[in-house]
Amino acid sequence: MTIRHATIVSLLLLGVAACSEQGKTVKIDGSSTVAPIATAAAETFRSVEPDVRVTVATSGTGGGFKKFLDPQPDLRTDINDASRPIKKAEMETAAKLGVEFIELPIALDGLAIVVHRNNTFCDHLTVAELKRIWEPESKINNWKDVRTGFPDLAIKLYGAGTDSGTFDYFTETIMGKEKACRSDYTSSENDNTLVQGVAGDPGSLGFFGLSYYEANHDKLKVLGVAERDDQPPVKPSVATVRDGTYRPLSRPLFFYVNKSSSQRPEVQAFLKHFFARAKSIVEHPKVGYVALSDELYSLAQTRLARGVTGSKFGGAGADRPTQLAELYRD
């Protein structure tokens, strides 16, 4: 079973049975995109700290923040996996509840635009074409209406659910406004469900994290994306995400840590374990994301050790991945 198995959608309990001390649990929820990273870290952590139970669930970034900021303190999670920065409204909720959080960048990802593996007519789409397909009230329901020369074939769309950080990032980046999207598509916070949908429909078009394409490349075809009509398309890969040439669909991924939780030894131990092995975890073939620079991991660890709270994004969208070091160096 791979760590991308569909069971990561439901609560995934890792480690041996929890010991009698309630404090020996680390609760993680949030993005299905980030879940493979958290799950891999939890699996390797188990061999180091067998008395600590790490739970990893996937409610989407937004759904995870709701649990991270639950009005009842005993129901809150310790860490929220996030595929986008925290929003202004979520920051306001945190302030009302008195929840301080530490924002930690952990990896880079690219959103993959994918079609059925037997699609021979489309190798790339422009940002403008993606916008026309996905914008609210779009009337494009057939490939022939996307570009001259495309066949008369109905489009079946697959994408992230509205609680997903992937949905927020995609809509803000492609439409220019978060949440601005047509509603008549198959949505899910479970990327494996989207993979299955795209793989099973000849007219499909979908989007989700690059690692899910990499894990299913034999079932899907990935498209290049041209930021402007007069620019050559670029396909997502570890190299193009890392060097920033896959634009504008490259993004940073995060752990958001409850500051109070970060003071517990088991949470400290889990995060220390992750950062000591961050590159090998993030870029493991079963995980498939892009590791940050040594400098950025060092900056994140310093932020954690000092208990620096708040977001570097101020409730706004993420800057380009290549600007992250400058952002966290301040």
Residue 257 pairs in a beta bridge with 79, 102
Percent of residues, the chain, with pLDDT higher than 70: 91
pLDDT at 18 over 50: no
Kindly indicate the confidence band of residue 244, based on its pLDDT and cuts at 50, 70 and 90: confident
pLDDT at 20 over 50: no
Whether 114 and 220 have beta carbons less than 8 Å apart is answered as yes
Q: Decide: helix, strand or coil at residue 203.
A: coil
pLDDT value, residue 13: 40
Q: Which domains does the chain have, with CATH numbers?
A: 6-109+251-329 (3.40.190.10), 110-242 (3.40.190.10)
pLDDT value, residue 206: 98
pTM above 0.75, yes or no: yes
What are the pLDDT digits (tens) for 94-152?
999 999 999 999 999 999 999 999 999 999 999 999 999 999 999 999 999 999 999 99
pLDDT value, residue 286: 84
pLDDT at 320 over 70: no
Q: Share the mean pLDDT of the chain.
A: 90
List b or e across 202-213, with b for residues whose CB sees 16 or more CB atoms inside 10 angstroms: ebbbbbbbbbbb
Kindly indicate the confidence band of residue 14, based on its pLDDT and cuts at 50, 70 and 90: very low
- The pLDDT of 64-86, averaged and rounded, is 96
Closest CA relative to residue 28, chosen from 17, 41, 43, 38: 38
Pairwise CA distance, residues 268 & 228, whole Å: 44
